[in-house]
Amino acid sequence: MTNEVRLSGFGGQGIILSGYILGKAVSIYDHRNATLMQSYGPESRGGAAACEVVASDERIDYPKVGTPNVVVALSQEAYTKYGHDLAPGGTLIVEADLVRDPVAPEGCQMFVLPATRMAEELGRKIVANMVMLGFVAAATEVAQAESFREAIRTTVPPGTEALNLRAFQKGYEHYTPGS
């Protein structure tokens, strides 16, 4: 099985870190193959940011995502640029407070996730990316939830593990099958 995932938003939302954690969950803890490609605008904060992860049970011959089956858009610009580029039957996840009037491509499912609000409830808006990863873990089959947890534990700065794992869990529990 192969999953192509595009995570996108703006600089400062932890998009690249999220992609790194996703790739680590797949490759180190699920013992599968993964590639990570990243791009971001010239600004360190506020510019466009995106990363692509290919996760596969098979050897990956080409690391770049063609037409992703999972797209996450945490900003309006990200949704405008990537929200309609989704494989048939794919999954679109958008940030509820930052993306206006999202529409999923025909034949695709869409989830509107208040990741930023959920992170603020935990006291730190900066962990919205972990809320989003928890939701991705629950809503897709990209990697096992426990693999995500281990990747988070071993990647985030020391002393922030508990907060990041709580944010992941909050996103994971927010998913309702069939919604």
Per-residue pLDDT of the chain (179 residues; tens, 9 = 90+): 899 999 999 888 999 999 999 999 999 999 999 999 998 665 555 667 899 999 999 999 999 999 999 999 999 999 999 999 999 999 999 999 999 999 999 999 999 999 999 999 999 999 999 999 999 999 998 999 999 999 999 999 999 999 999 999 999 999 987 66
pLDDT at residue 11 in the model: 85
pLDDT at 3 (0 to 100): 96
Predicted pLDDT of residue 45: 58
- The model carries a pTM of 0.93
Q: In the prediction, which pLDDT does 1 show? A: 87
Q: At what angle do helices 161-174 and 128-139 cross, to 10 degrees?
A: 40
pLDDT of 43 reads 52
Q: For the domain bounded by 2-174, which CATH number is listed?
A: 3.40.920.10
- Rounded CA gap, 142 and 131, in Å? 16
Distance CA 23, CA 174 (A): 22
Domain range annotation of the chain: 2-174
CB atoms within 10 A of CB 154: 12
pLDDT value at residue 100: 95
Report whether 113 contacts 95 (CB < 8 A). Answer: yes
